Amino acid sequence: MGLFSGFGRNLVWKDDNVVEFVQICHYFMVSERFVNDIFRVTFPPDYCHSFRENQFCEVLFALKFSGYLNLARNLMSFASRRYEDIFVFQDLVAATSVASFQRAVERHFNELDEN
């Protein structure tokens, strides 16, 4: 069954390619409000804590690239509840690639870890 099949199903972050989901939503000009609702219902609370192993930075960059900046800011705010000052919205806005954003997040994480 596909994500948008007749029976439907929720987005499963550990199994689904969330970056691809964001790109498909962007292609079909899905409103940010709808994507936000999907993310609110399905976002696993511990997903951002293991940002090195999963696609959290890639998802944030895909949201930026797709124009879903409010949703990206909301996810970063949620992630910052546990990791203050690691996910900085200005780093995402200034990033020209996923790799540059990932490096900025790693730098903030290492600075926080040293203190």
pLDDT tens digits along 48-85: 878 888 899 999 999 999 999 999 999 998 887 776 77
pTM: 0.88
Burial class (CB in 10 A: 0-12, 13-18, 19+), 43: middle
C-alpha span between 20 and 83 (Å, rounded): 26
- Does the structure show a pLDDT above 70 at 91? yes
Has residue 35 got a pLDDT over 90? yes
Structure tokens that stand for 30 in this block: 């899905």
Neighbours of 22 (CB within 10 A): 25
